[in-house]
Amino acid sequence: MVNLLIAFLRLFARLPLSWVRAAGYGLGWLLWHVAGKRRRIVQVNLQKCLPELSAAEREALAFRHFISFGQSVMDRAWLWHAPEALVRQRLRWVGDLPALQALGPLVMFAPHFVGLDAGGLAVSLDVPGPVAFIFVGQSRPAVEAWVRQGRERSGNVRPYFRHQGMRQILAGIKKGEPLHLSPDMDFGRTESIFVPFMGVEKAATVPSLSRLSKVVGARVVPVVTRMTPAGYDIEVHAPLDNFPTADLVQDTTRMNALLADWVRTMPEQYYWVHKRFKTRPEGEPGFY
């Protein structure tokens, strides 16, 4: 079944983007109707993070998120299988590009928007490397092989996995490997600290952006990927000033505040299908 799905996606690699996005709309519509558990997760996340919206507005936003999610899944057809020239036509760099080109250790803060894989591919194609990425392995071998082949298609990717620990990653950054990092995650009580995020005062968040950049003395450059009708914009923001500090909580709170500002500019594109608040402080009931 998995191999059949992969073969199906390959068929879309060279089709016009409007056709791919139309198929992605259909996939998102289908998931909205059949993936009840994920739909509930999205609705809870939106209720917690955007309480100022009415129930009808949140429901409409949740539906638009499923559409964006479905379109991003179908976009992997051309991202991972189309000729490189076509891929480059649909990936546009905007913002403070010199921030990525300066000398010295570099950590890119790349949050979990639906275009994360598109942004990662753009980085691996255009940033001198090898570029380090931290991946989470897939449960099915066929899916794992397909995902790795797609993400590493540029030949400029240094893959690391969470179970390997941080020592190799730190050594790589010190040697000049830029790190593409997505730390806006809840990896459980032992790996997280509780800081505010979009109205949730105690959101378990991995403090790795502050911790890693401090250890190696790296500058931190936010790289935010936005889905557009023409493909994706990879937005490079100015390096964070006075970051990291000696205060891990302050740094991670600042990271979440920056992320919240970007989420509000494209709320349908943030990765709401993830259980962002699955870990709660001792004694507090779960959200899901």
pLDDT tens-digit map of 20-59: 999 999 999 999 999 999 999 999 999 999 999 999 999 9
Q: Provide φ and ψ at 53, rounded to 5°.
A: -80, 150
Q: What is the pLDDT of residue 106?
A: 94
**2 pLDDT tier (thresholds 50, 70, 90):** low
Structure-block tokens of residue 192? 């997280």
pLDDT for res 61? 98
For residue 1, what pLDDT is reported? 63
Q: Do residues 233 and 225 make contact, with C-beta atoms less than 8 angstroms apart?
A: yes
**284 in a domain, yes or no?**
no
Instruction: For residue 169, give its domain range.
Output: 85-269
The pLDDT mean for the chain works out to 93
Task: Quote the number of domains for the chain.
Answer: 1
Task: With respect to residue 133, please indicate whether it lies within any of the assigned structural domains.
Answer: yes
Residue 49, domain member (yes or no): no
Q: Which element (helix H / strand E) includes 273?
A: none
pTM of the model: 0.93
Catalogue the E-assigned strands of 208-275. 219-228, 231-236
Residue 4, Cβ neighbours under 10 Å: how many? Answer: 8
Q: Is residue 29 part of a domain?
A: no
- For residue 164, pLDDT beyond 80: no
Which amino acid, 223?
A: V
pLDDT of 283: 87
> What is the mean pLDDT of the segment spanning 247-264?
98
Share of the chain above pLDDT 90, in %: 76
The crossing angle, in degrees rounded to 10, of helices 167-174 and 208-216 is 50
Mean per-residue pLDDT, 236-248:
96
Please compute the mean of the pLDDT values over residues 183-204 and round it to a whole number: 94
Tell me whether residue 102 is in a domain.
Answer: yes
- Residue 264, in any domain of the structure: yes
- Tell me the C-alpha distance between 206 and 255, whole Å: 11
73 in a structural domain: no
Does 165 score more than 70 pLDDT?
no
User: Is the confidence at residue 138, as pLDDT, over 80?
Assistant: no
Average pLDDT for 134-148: 80
Residues in the chain: 288
Q: What is the pLDDT of residue 140?
A: 78
Q: Say if residue 163's pLDDT is above 90.
A: no
Residue 160's pLDDT is: 85
Of residues 11 and 254, more confidently modeled: 254
Question: What pLDDT was estimated at residue 120?
Answer: 96
Tell me: pLDDT of 143 over 90: no
pLDDT for 51 equals 95
State phi, psi for 201 to the nearest 5 degrees: -70, -30
pLDDT of residue 3: 75
> Does residue 223 belong to any structural domain of this protein?
yes
Q: Where are the beta strands (DSSP E) in 37-189?
A: 91-95, 106-109, 131-135, 157-161, 179-181
Q: In this predicted model, what pLDDT tens digit does every residue of 58-105 receive, in sequence order?
A: 999 999 999 999 999 999 999 999 999 999 999 999 999 999 988 889
pLDDT at residue 243, rounded to an integer: 96
